Structure 1
Amino acid sequence: MTCPSLLTCRPAVDNAVDNVVARVRAEDTLAQFARFVLVGGATTLVYAVLFTVLEGFGYLPAHVAATAVSTVLANEFHRRLTFHAGERVHWLTAQLEAGGVSVIGLFLTSASLGVLNALVPDASVLAQVALVVTVTGLVGLMRFVALRWLFRPRAARTA
């Protein structure tokens, strides 16, 4: 059935959007993973912009600076938005826990960029960012598991 006008079909669209928003705001693992991916995508865009702007200083300094900024931003968004832990987890605790996993990612992405630079010295900025995004995606899965199951607050034990 078609709608006589877009205005009469709008409630169905609004309901669909409301359903998706409600689903993403839920507290189950799938909803948290959806928020994790959204935050990761947004902060990866921040990384890409910073890397591109700073690439004139060399790929490694640009990578380290862009990673540091985007990681701190991602950790804070994950604390507040992904896991709704702003009240339970202090900022520094979140930075240390998630940052520890991110350091592994920094080493892996830096090594990957070093190999790419050795094999293809004239690799484009786009190729370098694509490589970092791929490796970061894999490390992101590791981070999600760590933040969701390893670093979550434990229930108090009763004696």
Structure 2
Amino acid sequence: MTCPALLRRRQEAATGSEGDVAQGPLQPVAEVAHVASERLRRDDTLGQFVRFVLVGGSSTALYALLFLGLESLGYLAAHIVATVASSILANELHRRTTFHADERVGWLAAQVEAGGVSLFGLVTTSVALGWLDASVGAAHPVLQILLVVTVTGLIGLIRFVALRWIFRPTGAPAQ
């Protein structure tokens, strides 16, 4: 039997202990949360991809806050500052949490490797914002952010592939 929840129930029944899983009406929710948490910690492709998306969402939220806070500088300046800051954060979080590479890859190496893809993203999203500005004129900041999020999502897939399979240390297996 490989289901952790069922194994835990058998162990608890045998020992009479309840472990750290909530009892009562919230027990199913606690069990699902525990299984999801265990799944998220794995270093296989799915676990890394979910962590990658969570880090990407967090850094995108930082981007949006900075972009809105700096919009008085103009869309391009706000975009560049917000992209650089959110990319540095994302690169570090990917190094530490997404790929658990903090012992194998230094901070600077991670910034350089992922920074190349981030630079590609910065140029691509800047071109997209320029196109939007030329097409629509002064577009609402929410529309600008939506455009950047869409383009960034597509580039994020490229970034995941690059970080997962291209920039992995020599001899490290791709699971």
Using structure 1 for the length normalisation, give the TM-score: 0.92
CA displacement 1:79-108 (0-9 Å, x = unmatched): 000000011100000000000011000000
Residue 62 of structure 1 is aligned with which of 53, 57, 78?
Answer: 78
- The residue number in structure 1 matching 2:105 is 89
Root-mean-square deviation (Å): 1.3
- The residue number in structure 2 matching 1:127 is 143
- The residue number in structure 1 matching 2:57 is 41
Q: Whole-Å Cα distance in 2 between the matches of residues 96 and 81 of structure 1?
A: 18
Alignment partner of 1:144 is 2:160: yes
Runs of 4+ in 1 over 2 A off after TM superposition: none
SS at match of 1:20: helix
Q: Which of structures 1 and 2 has the bigger CA Rg?
A: 2
Q: Whole-Å Cα distance in 2 between the matches of residues 112 and 122 of structure 1?
A: 14
Q: Whole-Å Cα distance in 2 between the matches of residues 60 and 101 of structure 1?
A: 19
- The residue number in structure 2 matching 1:4 is none
Structure 2's unaligned 5+ residue stretches are: 1-22
SS at match of 1:9: coil
Q: Whole-Å Cα distance in 2 between the matches of residues 155 and 125 of structure 1?
A: 45
For residue 122 of structure 1, report the CA deviation from its aligned partner: 2.1
For residue 136 of structure 1, report the CA deviation from its aligned partner: 0.3
Q: Whole-Å Cα distance in 1 between the matches of residues 106 and 126 of structure 2?
A: 29
For residue 12 of structure 1, report the CA deviation from its aligned partner: 1.6
Structure 1's unaligned 5+ residue stretches are: 1-6
Alignment partner of 1:105 is 2:137: no
Q: Whole-Å Cα distance in 2 between the matches of residues 55 and 32 of structure 1?
A: 33
- The residue number in structure 2 matching 1:31 is 47
SS at match of 2:70: helix
**Paired positions, count:** 151
Using structure 2 for the length normalisation, give the TM-score: 0.84
Identity across aligned pairs (percent)?
57
Q: Whole-Å Cα distance in 2 between the matches of residues 32 and 38 of structure 1?
A: 10
